A and B are shown apart, each in its own frame.
Chain A
Amino acid sequence: MTNQQVNQSTSQLLYTLQIADNALIIGHRISEWCGHGPILEQDIAITNTSLDHLGQARSLYQHAADMFNALPAEQKNTLFTSTALQTKINKGENIDEDDLAYLRDSWDFRNVLLTEQPNKDWAYTIVRSFFYDAFNYYFYTELQKSKDTVFAAVAEKSLKEVTYHLRWSSEWMIRLGDGTDESKARMQEALDNRWAYTGEMFEATEADKAMLAEGIGVDLAAIKTKWMQHVTTVIEEATLTLPANNWMHSGGKECRHSENLGFVLAEMQFMQRAYPDMEW
């Protein structure tokens, strides 16, 4: 590989992790509702969407692992600083989807902060899903045109699933926003609190910029307009008020996370860390 190829492949790998980490972390967060949903049908619905996210994450992690394994050894050592993963890399072993999910610490994760925020109650969960599903819908619509054939295939497949997710979360926004005084107040509170996590989805990292230039990635500025349009329409229909503040949290896409991610990983990775290489 030439230096230029190594740089391109590294950007593509980090870009893949941004997408896959979003899918894994939101998928894990909403799976926490399993057995606790407000009614049986919704318990089933939310865990179904969780499975979709997890399936999307798996395809992308395997793609990232394949890219990683093809890199020259010296480059491999510069990408992660998680001890468990690095130990495996130092042995010269190939890594796979499971290593990326289970052996990285929070500082090697690139998901947006929105996805790792706690479920709190049904209103907070719905608002978080709604913001994210709307993003995912427009993101995968564009990613279908990627020059990376794996991205294009994952996007084509995922878009069908994400369409159900967006319908579902948009309907809940309207049902609860335009519901009782209690449900409306809770939705508005969740909206006000989670709003400041939406800006990061559209912030372009170096990987975002490099992949857009290569025709592999998505133009985040372009989908922001569409996202805003959908979000505004639904929020109006839900008789809720779009928060006026424009200050936004960021950092997740560059591995600076809130304390919440540590708790997600502690639960998700416990078995694999306590009993390395276990399978069942």
Chain B
Amino acid sequence: MPAITTTQVYDWLQQVTDPEVPVLTILDLGIVRDVRIADDEVTVAITPTYSGCPAMDVIGINIRMALMSRGFKKVHIEQQLSPAWTTDWMTEDGKRKLKEYGIAPPVRKTSDNPLALFEDDNIPCPRCNSEHTELVSRFGPTSCKSLYKCLDCKEPFEHFKCH
């Protein structure tokens, strides 16, 4: 097998998508923390978005498939808990794709300005951009999202929480 660089592996990982939010790749999400290659062995360190996220197992399998189909016989998936995943690691391109898909992207870097316990972000509607919106539920169909509705265009929408 010809020598493969980590850059090449990252290119392949860019084609692995999140099974729950298929417009995002795992690199857009910022969950790939490290890639190491030793001979015919590749190790990919990923960090879970949420502790109980059921998509993590599927993502692990998809990474394995993607790399095995490129000739790697040994693929290790490492789970890395610290530093804890944050939406600050989501790429700008990822946020743009989310918005086009109809999901309001995270609006704030959580590391510089954490919210007080009962403070909420103002989330603009991904369809009409109105800031006149209302939180419907803190928890959406997946742990990473909450539910909003737009009070101007009246559309309900999901928001990828600032985490």
Contact = CB atoms under 8 A, between A and B. Distances in A.
A54 interface: yes
A44 B142 CA distance: 9
B117 A41 contact: no
A42 B163 CA distance: 20
A55 B147 contact: no
Contact of A55 (B50, B136, B163): B50
B47 to A, nearest CB: 8
A171 B137 CA distance: 11
B143 interface: yes
Interface in B71-106: 81-86
Given A149-B82, A156-B82, A156-B84, A161 B51 contact: yes
DSSP majority for the A interface?
A: helix
Contacts of B118: 167, 170-171
B33 interface: no
Contacts of B163: 160
A149 B82 CA distance: 9
Interface string B38-59: 0000000000101111100000
A107 B42 CA distance: 44
A51 B137 contact: no
A168 B143 CA distance: 13
Nearest to A46: B139
A150 B80 CA distance: 10
B138 interface: yes
B51 A56 contact: yes
DSSP majority for the B interface?
A: loop
Nearest to B80: A153
Measured as residues with beta carbon below 8 angstroms from the partner, the interface class of chain A is 20 to 34
Nearest to B81: A153
Contacts of B138: 45, 164, 167-168
B141 interface: yes
A159 to B, nearest CB: 8
Contact of A59 (B51, B83, B147, B161): B51
A160 B86 CA distance: 9
Contacts of A167: 117-118, 138
B82 A152 contact: yes
Interface of B: 48, 50-54, 81-86, 117-118, 136-143, 147, 161, 163
Given A153-B84, A156-B82, A167-B138, 17 more contacts: A45-B139, A51-B54, A52-B50, A56-B51, A56-B52, A59-B81, A152-B82, A154-B51, A156-B83, A157-B48, A157-B51, A157-B82, A158-B51, A160-B86, A163-B117, A166-B117, A170-B117
30 contacts: A44-B139, A44-B140, A45-B138, A45-B139, A49-B139, A50-B52, A51-B51, A51-B53, A51-B143, A52-B50, A52-B143, A53-B52, A54-B51, A54-B52, A55-B48, A55-B50, A56-B51, A56-B52, A58-B51, A149-B82, A153-B84, A154-B51, A156-B81, A160-B84, A160-B163, A164-B138, A164-B139, A164-B161, A170-B118, A171-B118
Interface of A: 41-42, 44-45, 48-56, 58-59, 149-150, 152-154, 156-158, 160-161, 163-164, 166-168, 170-171
